[in-house]
Structure 1
């Protein structure tokens, strides 16, 4: 059975970031449609959710690899700022375990100070302003 599936998927595009996003949006829309019941908004969400899921699987099983790749690159370009914002927030959360992160009062530059050093005088590397903070 595994060999048959491997042969079937050979030459197909496969899963990418846009497919994952479409699948997630589709599933969320179908679940939200269940909360609205038989109302018009629920029916529209249900149809749109299933359309997103079907398009997702169409993309996964497509043999037109160049077109699917171009669609994915366009999606990645459009969502770059949003994805990089969340990546930066994730990295900041990792650093907050070891460092305090302060902003310079004059130029708003973020400054990273090690935790557990008591009150220290911080000098901004960008503008040279000094201020006292607890680490």
Structure 2
């Protein structure tokens, strides 16, 4: 264990981009097994080599910059996925509407009949059936 700690000293290690690349590699392995596309093996191998290259790299600033660029792209995607999951989880108790003025997403309880909704962002009022 001490050998591994000394070996990794001064190296970049793992980050969110590496984790995403590994998950992508696993998904592609499953797809390759299901479809039988042998040519995907080279692409998967290249992904794994890239992961290990990034992990063992001593150029920490460059790997950090790559990860930050990935996180700037992944942040909005992750937020959308999380919000969609939350909307799906409470679909039986709440409805979601977009404000016609500012497009803000508003959450209201279900089963209240026609209600007057006031957007907390722009204070526009509109009527919808909950």
1:102 is aligned to 2:101: no
TM-score of the aligned structures, taking structure 2 as reference length? 0.75
Structure 2, unpaired ranges of 5+: none
Give secondary structure in 2 for the equivalent of 1:20.
Answer: helix
In the alignment, the residues of structure 2 paired with residue 106 and residue 68 of structure 1 have an alpha-carbon distance, to the nearest angstrom, of 43
Aligned to 1:46: 41
- Answer yes or no: is the 8 Å Cα contact 1:12–1:63 preserved in 2: yes
What are the residue-to-residue correspondences of 1:1-135 with 2, within 5 Å?
2-37=1-36, 42-93=37-88, 96=90, 99-103=93-97, 110-114=105-109, 118-119=112-113, 121-125=115-119, 126-133=123-130
Deviation digits for residues 9-60 of structure 1, max 9, x if unmatched? Answer: 22111111110111112222233223343xxxx2221110111011101111
What's the offset of the Cα at 1:106?
5.3
Q: Return closer, same or farther for 1:82/1:131 CA change in 2, 3 Å cut-off.
A: closer
In the alignment, the residues of structure 2 paired with residue 24 and residue 104 of structure 1 have an alpha-carbon distance, to the nearest angstrom, of 34
TM-score of the aligned structures, taking structure 1 as reference length? 0.73
Structure 1, unpaired ranges of 5+: none
What's the offset of the Cα at 1:104?
5.9
What's the offset of the Cα at 1:64?
1.0
